[in-house]
Amino acid sequence: MAPVRFRLGSREYAGDARLVMAIVNRTTDSFYDRGLTWEDTAAYARVRQVVAEGADLVDIGGIKAAPGAEVPVEEELRRVVPFVEGLRAEFPDLTISVDTYRAVVADAVLAAGADVINDAWGGWDPEVPAVVAAHGAGLVLTHTGGQVVRTRPHRVEYDDVLASVVDSLTSQAEGALAVGVSRERIVIDPAHDFGKNTRHSLECTRRLGELVALGWPVLVSLSNKDFVGESLGRDVGERVPGTLATTAISAWLGAHVYRVHEVRETRDVLDMVSVISGDLAPMRTTRGLA
């Protein structure tokens, strides 16, 4: 497998890139931040902060993943489109991703200046790839095992969860290519916790190398999720160390993009892994060298 090269927004990356994608929720009810960046002022402040902390891209979401109040298309558009326009104006070079499962929303945000669609519900709306292709944008493909959008997995079993992940993502990638999405702008995500219990998500982490070996850039979304909490017996709010440990392991196994709440900490973990692996020089070395 040739080393992967990929593009997000105006940037080109090599296979040894480890990128921080900062979560910016335009929701009132997301599980971790609980509406922290619902207001415009807070949302812009969050983006300025994560950019300063070393985020490579932001991922804007207008609908929480878990079950909850219905968000009509018009409301989702209202939450994300003006924000994307505003960010594009303030940060011309920032790679902007939008987390949506709706093609109509994808179309609107890409027209407003977004670069990537994070299709977090596994191709639920079959029109999303064609919309992404029409804009020459990037596309994150996810595995949900066929889970209905905004539902929780209940008694889901797989013969081999990784095989399901590989089959689904490979087939989605081929589909995206077929409708014209650029090969170098396709990213795959095993989607921890989506259509998965904790053991499934742990297996996706343990065997992440098999996903990396497919040759597509791999995104992992681990941040403060239930599989981390259940692994450690930690509630939301106490999962950062577990998240960072999972981040380090995933980085060592070759994942490329990390969708996170804690940007500064993730940046350090990823850079540390890159330095250990030899993909990145240490920042500044004088110890024993004076």
| CA proximity to 175, closest of 210, 123, 215 | 123
Provide, rounded to whole angstroms, the least separation between the CB of residue 284 and other proteins.
Answer: 4
Task: Report the alpha-carbon angle 35-103-183, nearest 5.
Answer: 105
Q: How many residues bind other proteins (CB under 8 A)?
A: 10
Annotated active-site residue 259? The verdict is yes
Of the candidates 46, 196, 259, 267, the residue annotated as catalytic is 259
- The interface with other proteins within residues 84-103 (CB under 8 A) comprises none
**Residue 1 in contact with other proteins, rule: CB under 8 A:** no
Closest to other proteins by CB, 89 or 289: 289
Record the tokens describing residue 120, joined without a space.
């977090």
Looking only at residues 249 through 288 of this chain, which bind other proteins when binding is defined by CB under 8 A?
280-286, 288
Nearest-approach distance from CB 244 to other proteins, in angstroms: 22
Asked if residues 168 and 126 have their Cβ atoms less than 8 Å apart, the reply is: no
Q: Distance between CA 109 and CA 78 in Å, rounded?
A: 11
- Please pick, among 7, 79, 225, 267, the residue that the annotation labels catalytic: 225
Nearest to 139 by CA among 123, 150, 124, 151: 123
Q: How far is the CB of 271 from other proteins (least distance, A)?
A: 9
Supply the minimum distance, in Å, between the C-beta of residue 268 and other proteins.
14
Angstrom distances, CA of residue 43 to CA of 7, 26, 40, 48:
26, 7, 5, 9
Centre a 10 Å sphere on the Cβ of residue 63 and count the other Cβ atoms it contains: 27
Phi, psi at residue 263, to the nearest 5°?
-75, -50
Q: How far is the CB of 254 from other proteins (least distance, A)?
A: 22
Burial of 137-173, coded b for 16+ CB within 10 Å and e otherwise, reads bbbbbbbbbebebbeeeeebeeeebbebbbebbeebb
Query: Is the separation of the CB atoms in 71 and 63 below 8 Å?
Result: yes
Binding site for other proteins (CB under 8 A): 280-286, 288-290
Active-site residues, by number, are 225, 259
